[in-house]
Amino acid sequence: MTFAMMFFGLLTVVAALGVVFAAKPLNSALSLVATLFLVAVHFAMLGADFVAALQVLIYAGAIMVLVIFVIMLLGLDEASAVSKFKVPRYLAAVFCGVFLGLLVFAVSSEGIFPVGIMDSVAGGASESNPGSPREVGMVLLTEFIFPFQLAALLLLAAIVGAVLLAHEEKRPLGKGRGLSAMQQKNSSEEELREV
Amino acid sequence: MEELIDVGLVVLKAALVMGAVLKLAALVTWVERKASALIQNRVGANRAAILGFDLAGIVNTLICDPVKALTKEDFVPKGVSQFMHSLAPFMGIFPVILSFAVIPFGPPLVIGDRIIPLQVAQLNIGVLYVLAMGSLAVYGTVLAGWVSNNKFSLLGSLRASAQMISYEITLGLSIIGVLALYQTLDFAEIVNQQSGTVLGFLPNWGIFMSPFNVIAFIVFFVSAMAETKRAPFDLPESESELVAGYFTEYSGMKFLLFWLGEFAEIVVASALVVVLFFGGWQLPWVDISEWGWQGSLLGTMVFGAKVSFFCVLQVVIRWSVPRFRYDQLLDLCWKKMLPIALVNLVLTVAFMLWMDG
Amino acid sequence: MAIEVTEFYLLLSAVLFTLGALGVMIRSNTIVMFMCVELMLNAVNLTLVTFSRQFGEVHGQVFVFFVMAVAAAEAAVGLAIILAVFRNYFSIQTSDVHDLAG
Amino acid sequence: MGLLEQNAVLALIPLMPLVGACLLGASLGGKPERHWQSGWAATIFSATSFIAAISLFLKIHGGDVSSIQYGLWQWFSSGSLSVDLAFRMDRLAGVMTLVVTGVGSLIHLYAIGYMDHDEHRPRFFCYLNLFLFSMLLLVLGDNLLVMFVGWEGVGLCSYLLIGFWFKDMENAKAGQKAFVVNRIGDAGFLLGIFTIFWSLGTFNFLEIENQIGLMPDYLILAAALLMFVGAIGKSAQIPLYVWLPDAMAGPTPVSALIHAATMVTAGVYMITRLSVLYLAAPEALAVIAVVGTATALLAATVALAQNDIKKVLAYSTVSQLGYMFMALGAGAFSNGIYHVVTHAFFKACLFMAAGSVIVGCHHQQDMRQFGGLRKSMPLTFIAYLAATFAITGLPYGSGFFSKDAILWAVYSKPIVLFGTEIQEVLWAIGLFTAFLTAFYMTRSLVMTFFGSYRGSEHPHESPWTMTTPILILAVPSLFFGWFYGEALLQFIGQWGREDLLVGHEVLAANPTYHLLEMISIGVALSGVVLSALVYGFMPSIVGSMLKAVALLRGLHAALLNKWWVDEFYDAVIIKPLRVFSNTIFTVIDRALIDGTVNGTGMFVVANAEVTRRMHNGKIGSYVMLMFAGMLAAIVFWIVL
């Protein structure tokens, strides 16, 4: 556990807090971009270069752009940190606290769980993480070729579904808080096809 | 001590590269102004001069313009986050400069028993790294358009995000075939593979490695130009439609940062083209990697020359071709370049299989 | 050393995951909820890469790849749904979209 | 590879009618002007099957092979149980196959003429071919399950064909009655199959024969009796015979094919097929003999008074089936089969001739409306005469040989029931039944063809497609026993009793046999003569006698009403069952089951009224509940 890990870990947690508690959706989104980028940094530090690059490329570069795009498109940057419904937030916090406690205990294997996670992984084989594109690609395109193709199919289905869902029937848009209807439609569809 | 020297060298290289890129970008602005003047049959920047020497406008663009920008008022529109407003230009230029970190600009320098690769960071995922950085570049644009609180800016950033994401696809797809030929994502390795000749007389550059790499080059070059958001792909900032697009509300040094980022992108695009298709620092027919420090120097100069060439080429194109319409822009990407890139990939792989017998 | 790194990252991902879950529960903006789900996914990805390193095997990373593919599909469809919801309700607050309330 | 192809032909035999049925079924709803094709198509398919059967039968008959086997595929497999869809033709199955396909083909041909002008001909011939397929499955199946499929298939086809003219309620009811009564028998049959499988773990006939020694006696008895229940249902024995007379509601070719020649003999065939089982259970054999004898007598008496020509023939069939079971009961299985064959000839011939008469007299079935038809329907008359000659047991008709053989078989073997030897009683009843048979058959002959025509419509002879099969069948009715009887008995001798296999000449040397034969001839002759005298020359004497003697009047009423058996069943079984069902319906179904179901629904509704408030449309709360559930699961896991 190096200093860099601690430092970036702390940053990650702060960014994640920003995602959850930022008042404006756009700030949330930017925090999430930062979080994702930092997670990519963690990946790189763990030796998973390829996944790190993909993380930035796919998550930060594509998915989050889409999210921000939608936020901008719909003009949704109203501050609404708290649900209007009185969902008992303290209850949620308690749940999360219990859950986190369980996870921490599980990781530190204090004997609560039937099998401690760390006990079961302690005999790990190696410390060098094979994470280069060649290694990952080799496994991906041999052992996992079928799931790989399935993933391609899934993405195709997602594209078609997204276009279908986002496709606007010939009826007037609501009091568009974003931009003119034509502009939105054109770009949003092209945009969604990207993913 | 050794570690300290290593770290120091990396810092030195980083500073060197960053400076070089920014200087190059600034130079490109000068080229832009002079070339546009040349093309439009006018004189171009010639007002400012030091002791009567305007140095063909260099003084004007490299000294006076920055000074003017720095001294201008930094205007922030009402009702927007000051922090976000300032963040946007940085997020625009930051990934561009970062992506230069993996570009090798010369053969390794050998001093004593220390081998110094002329590359800030040698990553085994170099190509992916550049693409990832390119995908991050969109945030500056988008953020700028959003925080400007201005319809023109918003339109510009919406256009920019769609355009950049779309062309990223073709950018990535076009070079998969080439990368399959190289069998690596490491730029240094890629450049190393481009020494020697092919068919006896052509330099063994990427573009000559397979008959289909010309297609890949064209698709890649066009996509890279679209990524820089410059004419004929300057929809996000088209002056005649959106005032200045996403940086309409920017002034002073922030504006200059956008401007600089754009030109840095030109440099990055050119560098990528050179590294992937035109041999990087390799000199045709001559192997300079064995020449010691002279070789390194020569290689760096060769690389610079090649990059400069493509920068100028982009500027010339920018001033020669009219702007697309928005639907044409996306049509070009999704309905022409993407299929072409895919076909090219198939053809290249077929070629590889044929070569292997 | 190795164990410590693994433990650290497991704890980090536990925190990230919990934060994501909390966000999904307490936020009412669908886009923010969506982003919190992405956060949870990333926490899991981090775990996978950590274990991948611990065991010196590449399978965990392959799994991360698939998670990313699924996340991309999810983003496309999810955002399209959000668009459609907005088009019909002029809002994406969950408090405004409750036609199925019992 | 010749053998292989030969064996594949075996599968072709049942397959051809199936293909025919499928094609005809597919052609349902075709143009009416094309309907005439359906009969010919069905006939061709069954004739093809017949030819295939002949080719294989010759192989067996020549002694090249004792049996031919052909497995199509494994039907299903479960644990140690594996059932093949396989066929096997040995001598017994060969004889039956020839009868089924041969007589079946002739009846198909006959049906072309009989069903002419019926608007549902394709459906009729589709069923007919389907029946043939099922019957061949029954006969050729090499294990009990394939046989059972055929068994049920023929039942189904019987139901479909009895109710062919289902627009008439009576016909539909008759079909249902046949089906329901058969179900009772089938249940017994199925239980018998289960018993055998439970004990031996196989369905295969050969394996059953080989392993029968492993079966405990009481199980053998149980299996034999249960299977006999099936035979009772299918072959119309007491007490389940009531469906067969009603089955005459179907078209006459159906009566001839299913309810005279083939399906009703399935019980006989089945018991013969499992003769090893029955030989191991003499008590069961005795029961069979008694039931058969009783049935023969009862049906013959009822036949005396019937006026519907088809009813007469139907009771005659039941009576003849009784004879067959007598033979089985005496352990002379081959004699039973022998009688099946001759009965198939003459009874099919009789039915078809009767059908010809019915058509000729414009769908009149009452014999009192016939008379003197020998002039207007000479060909039909000749055939009916020949067949009557055969069934009455007059010397050298085929019935004479087969029936006498049965009587001798019964007489010559001690049949013990409850410690008493009853074979002589059975023989005497059989003899009396033979007298009755001669009497009522002659009665029907005389009433139909002699005297003067009493009907109103003008009778006419039937077309050649109808007369040809009748005449063809008249030939074996007369001569089969004379020329081939001995050969047949020898051919299937392995199912016969050894003391009966010695041949007619040797038996004739036995004075007892000779005496009994003479008695039998005398009885038959007296029946014929008496009947001819009464109905041919003094028709009024019956009426006056009935008027004069009260006892006779009562007897006649009893006979006319079939001993009130149907009414008895109605009162003893059907009505109580109705009441019982009604009680069950109101108490258990309405109150208990419906109450439970409706109560469940109302419970859910009431519950939902409360729990729906949990679905408040707030995604956050859903997620929170989900999360809470997950946490609970984890905690539960830990606590565990």
CA end-to-end span of chain D: 68
The whole-number pLDDT of residue A169 equals 61
| Shortest CA gap C23–chain D (Å) | 9
Residues with Cβ within 8 Å of A81's Cβ and at least 6 positions away in sequence, in order, are: A21, A22, A23, C27
Compute the distance between CA of residue A61 and CA of residue D261 in angstroms, rounded to an integer: 85
Q: What is the pLDDT of residues D457-480, one digit of tens each?
A: 788 888 888 888 888 888 888 888
Contact assignment for A69 to B159 by CB distance below 8 Å: no
Nearest to residue A93, comparing CAs of C35, C22, D631?
C22
Compute the distance between CA of residue D399 and CA of residue D390 in angstroms, rounded to an integer: 5
Contact of B183 with B176, CB cutoff 8 Å:
no
Neighbours of chain B (3+ CB pairs under 8 A): A
Q: What is the mean pLDDT of residues D300-315?
A: 87
DSSP element (H, E) containing A75: none
Lowest mean pLDDT among A170-179, B15-24, B188-197, D52-61: A170-179
The whole-number pLDDT of residue B4 equals 82
Contact of B130 with B102, CB cutoff 8 Å:
yes
Contact of D366 with D457, CB cutoff 8 Å:
no
Contact assignment for B162 to A183 by CB distance below 8 Å: no
Neighbours of chain A (3+ CB pairs under 8 A): B, C, D
For the entire predicted model, the pTM comes to: 0.56
Token digits of residue B253: 């040094």
Contact assignment for C100 to D624 by CB distance below 8 Å: no
Lowest mean pLDDT among B164-168, D286-290, D434-438: B164-168
Contact of A72 with B142, CB cutoff 8 Å:
yes
Domains, in order of start, for chain A:
1-81 (1.20.120.1200), 86-129 (no CATH), 144-195 (no CATH)
- At residue D134 the predicted structure's pLDDT band, cuts being 50, 70 and 90, is very high
**What is chain D's Cα-based Rg?**
28
ipTM, two decimals: 0.68
Q: Would you give the distance in Å from CA B53 to the centre of its chain?
A: 31
Residue D499, number of CB atoms within 10 A of its CB: 14
Q: What angle do CA D185, D191, D196 make, to 5 degrees?
A: 130
The whole-number pLDDT of residue C24 equals 85
Q: What is the pLDDT of residues D194-226, one digit of tens each?
A: 898 888 888 888 888 888 888 888 888 888 899
Share of chain C above pLDDT 70, in %: 94
Contact assignment for D612 to C28 by CB distance below 8 Å: no
Compute the distance between CA of residue D457 and CA of residue D455 in angstroms, rounded to an integer: 6
Residue D415, CB half-sphere, CA atoms under 13 Å: how many?
28
Q: If you ran DSSP here, which 8-state letter would residue A57 be given?
A: I
- What torsion do the CA atoms of A158, A194, C61, C59 make, to the nearest 10 degrees? 50
Per-chain mean pLDDT for chain B: 81
The whole-number pLDDT of residue A181 equals 43
**Where would I find the beta strands (DSSP E) of chain A?**
none
Check the CA dihedral A37-A38-A43-A45 and report its sign: positive
Contact of D320 with D336, CB cutoff 8 Å:
no
The whole-number pLDDT of residue B8 equals 84
Residue among A83, A87, A102 minimizing CB distance to D634 = A102
Domain layout of chain C by residue ranges: 2-89
Chain D CB contacts of A85 under 8 Å are 616, 618, 620-621
Residue that has been written with the tokens 């792909």 in this structure = B233
Residues with Cβ within 8 Å of B159's Cβ and at least 6 positions away in sequence, in order, are: A187, B235, B236, B245, B326
Chain C CB contacts of A13 under 8 Å are 12, 15-16, 19
Contact assignment for A186 to B326 by CB distance below 8 Å: yes
Chain B CB contacts of A73 under 8 Å are 158
Token digits of residue A53: 């690059």
Q: What is the pLDDT of residues B315-345, one digit of tens each?
A: 888 888 888 888 888 888 888 888 898 898 8
Q: In a 10 Å sphere around its CB, with 0-12 CB exposed, 13-18 middle and 19+ buried, how is residue D372 labelled?
A: middle
- Contact D/B (≥3 CB pairs under 8 Å): no
Q: What is the mean pLDDT of residues D520-537?
A: 85
Chain A residue at shortest CA distance from B166: A194
Residue among C28, C97, C102 minimizing CB distance to D612 = C102
Contact assignment for A112 to D638 by CB distance below 8 Å: yes
Q: Does C24 contact chain D (CB < 8 Å)? A: yes
Compute the distance between CA of residue A58 and CA of residue A65 in angstroms, rounded to an integer: 10
Q: What is the mean pLDDT of residues D436-455?
A: 85
Question: What are the CA-CA distances from residue D43 to residues D46, D56, D126, D129 (Å)?
Answer: 5, 20, 11, 9
Compute the distance between CA of residue D177 and CA of residue D246 in angstroms, rounded to an integer: 8
Q: What type of residue is D508?
A: A
Q: C2-89: what fold?
A: Helix Hairpins (1.10.287)
Chain A residue at shortest CA distance from D622: A87
Chain A residue at shortest CA distance from B135: A61
| Shortest CA gap A129–chain B (Å) | 14
Compute the distance between CA of residue D521 and CA of residue D434 in angstroms, rounded to an integer: 10
Q: What is the mean pLDDT of residues D346-359?
A: 88
Compute the distance between CA of residue D292 and CA of residue D236 in angstroms, rounded to an integer: 10
Residue among D616, D627, D637 minimizing CB distance to A95 = D627
Interface with D, mutate which of C17, C19, C24, C85 (most D CBs under 10 A): C24
Residues with Cβ within 8 Å of D467's Cβ and at least 6 positions away in sequence, in order, are: D356, D379, D380, D383, D461
The whole-number pLDDT of residue B44 equals 72
Q: If you ran DSSP here, which 8-state letter would residue C96 be given?
A: T
Share of chain D above pLDDT 70, in %: 98
Chain A CB contacts of C67 under 8 Å are none
The whole-number pLDDT of residue D191 equals 92
Contact assignment for C98 to D616 by CB distance below 8 Å: yes
Chain A residue at shortest CA distance from D636: A113
Compute the distance between CA of residue B139 and CA of residue C73 in angstroms, rounded to an integer: 21
| Chain A residue set in contact with B, beta carbons under 8 Å | 26, 30, 33, 37, 49-50, 52-54, 56-57, 60-62, 65-66, 68-69, 72-73, 77, 132-133, 178-179, 183, 186-187, 190-191, 193-194
What is the 3-state secondary structure of B320-355?
A: HCCCCCHHHHHHHHHHHHHHHHHHHHHHHHHHHHHH
Q: What type of residue is B89?
A: P
Token digits of residue B349: 């792989």
The whole-number pLDDT of residue A81 equals 46
Compute the distance between CA of residue D529 and CA of residue D541 in angstroms, rounded to an integer: 15
**What is chain B's Cα-based Rg?**
21
Residue that has been written with the tokens 């240094």 in this structure = B188
Token digits of residue D432: 């009396």
By three-state DSSP, how is residue B279 classified? coil
Per-chain mean pLDDT for chain D: 84
Residue among A55, A59, A124 minimizing CB distance to C54 = A124
Compute the distance between CA of residue A5 and CA of residue B96 in angstroms, rounded to an integer: 25
**Is B69 a residue whose pLDDT tops 50?**
yes
The whole-number pLDDT of residue C43 equals 92
Question: What are the CA-CA distances from residue D616 to residues B181, D606, D612 (Å)?
Answer: 58, 18, 8
**What is chain C's Cα-based Rg?**
17
Q: Does A87 contact chain D (CB < 8 Å)? A: yes
By three-state DSSP, how is residue A168 classified? coil
Contact of B58 with B52, CB cutoff 8 Å:
no
Upstream peptide bond of D239 is cis (omega within 30 degrees of 0): yes
Chain C residue at shortest CA distance from D627: C21
Contact of C52 with C61, CB cutoff 8 Å:
yes
The whole-number pLDDT of residue D133 equals 92
Share of chain D above pLDDT 90, in %: 4
For each of chain A's 195 residues, which pLDDT tens digit applies? 578 888 888 899 999 888 888 878 888 888 898 899 899 888 888 888 888 888 888 888 888 888 888 887 777 666 554 445 555 677 778 888 888 887 787 777 655 555 555 555 555 545 555 777 788 888 888 888 888 888 888 988 888 888 888 776 655 544 444 444 444 444 444 444 444
Share of chain B above pLDDT 90, in %: 0
Interface with D, mutate which of C31, C94, C96 (most D CBs under 10 A): C94
Q: What does the buried/exposed string (b/e) look like for D258-296 if buried means 16 or more CB atoms within 10 Å of the residue's CB?
A: bbbbbbbbbbbbbbbbbbbbbbbbbebbbbbbbbbbbbb
Q: What does the buried/exposed string (b/e) look like for B251-287 if buried means 16 or more CB atoms within 10 Å of the residue's CB?
A: eebbbbbbbbbbbbbbbbbbbbbbbbbbbbbbbbeee
CA end-to-end span of chain B: 52
Q: What is the pLDDT of residues B286-325, one digit of tens each?
A: 777 777 777 888 888 888 888 888 888 888 888 888 888 8
Contact assignment for D624 to A102 by CB distance below 8 Å: no
Question: What are the CA-CA distances from residue B127 to residues A24, A195, B64, D416 (Å)?
Answer: 35, 20, 37, 102
Q: What is the pLDDT of residues D359-409, one digit of tens each?
A: 888 778 888 888 878 888 888 888 888 888 888 888 888 888 888 888 888
Question: What are the CA-CA distances from residue D140 to residues D62, D270, D385, D480 (Å)?
Answer: 19, 11, 34, 24
Helices (H), ranges, D201-280: 205-211, 217-234, 243-246, 252-256, 266-273, 275-279
Upstream peptide bond of B107 is cis (omega within 30 degrees of 0): no
Chain C CB contacts of A73 under 8 Å are 83
- Contact C/B (≥3 CB pairs under 8 Å): no
Compute the distance between CA of residue C83 and CA of residue A191 in angstroms, rounded to an integer: 12
Contact of B295 with B116, CB cutoff 8 Å:
no
Q: What is the pLDDT of residues D477-514, one digit of tens each?
A: 888 888 888 888 888 888 877 777 776 677 777 888 88
Token digits of residue B76: 């922030």
Nearest to residue D242, comparing CAs of D568, D558, D557?
D568
Compute the distance between CA of residue D296 and CA of residue D316 in angstroms, rounded to an integer: 8
Check the CA dihedral D335-D341-D343-D346 and report its sign: negative
Share of chain B above pLDDT 70, in %: 95
Q: Does C53 contact chain D (CB < 8 Å)? A: no
Q: What type of residue is B249?
A: E
Compute the distance between CA of residue D97 and CA of residue D50 in angstroms, rounded to an integer: 8
